[in-house]
Amino acid sequence: MRTLPSILTTAGSVLALAGTLALLPTTGVAADAKAESVVEQGKAIAFDRKKGNCLACHQIDGGSLPGNIGPPLIAMKARFPDKAKLRAQIWDATKANPNSIMPPFGRQQILSESEIDKVVEFVYTL
């Protein structure tokens, strides 16, 4: 899905791009597919040992050999009705708990802002 717009831009003008999109019968489907791929990317980042490595400490659906230092990541929408609070927890866990062992992914630039956004989207599906 990601490559489609870039091919189009390189291929033609912005006008042509707008035209193509307008011709698509269901733009809604395209948006859903894109959203899913953000979740998938977030999952990949969360599971990557060199990136989020969240499985080191959290049990997460779909991940093997999780650690048990942190709580299992489940029912995240119920736990965090406010998505911004979830992002804040991942960005810097030491705000809520100064002694937290959870790495401050944003503050210490372990993940980039956009990587964190993606992880948030993924975690929010749990």
CB of 69 to another protein, least distance (A): 5
Distance CA 105, CA 89 (A): 9
Give CA 115 to chain center in angstroms: 6
Distance CA 54, CA 8 (A): 36
CB of 98 to another protein, least distance (A): 9
Distance CA 62, CA 2 (A): 24
Q: CB-wise, 5 or 80, nearer to ligand HEC?
A: 80
Is 56 a residue that touches ligand HEC (CB under 6 A)?
A: yes
State the amino acid at position 73 in one-letter form.
L
Is 71 a residue that touches ligand HEC (CB under 6 A)?
A: yes
Q: Which two tokens stand for residue 108?
A: 């210490």
Is 66 a residue that touches another protein (CB under 8 A)?
A: yes
CB of 33 to ligand HEC, least distance (A): 23
State the amino acid at position 118 in one-letter form.
K
Considering only residues 70 to 109 of the shown chain, the ones binding another protein according to CB under 8 A are: 94, 99, 101, 103-104, 108-109
Give the other-Cβ count within 10 Å of 91's Cβ. Answer: 18
Fill in the per-residue mask, 75 to 114: x = in contact with ligand HEC (CB under 6 A), - = not in contact. Answer: ----x------x--xx--x---x--xxxx-x---------
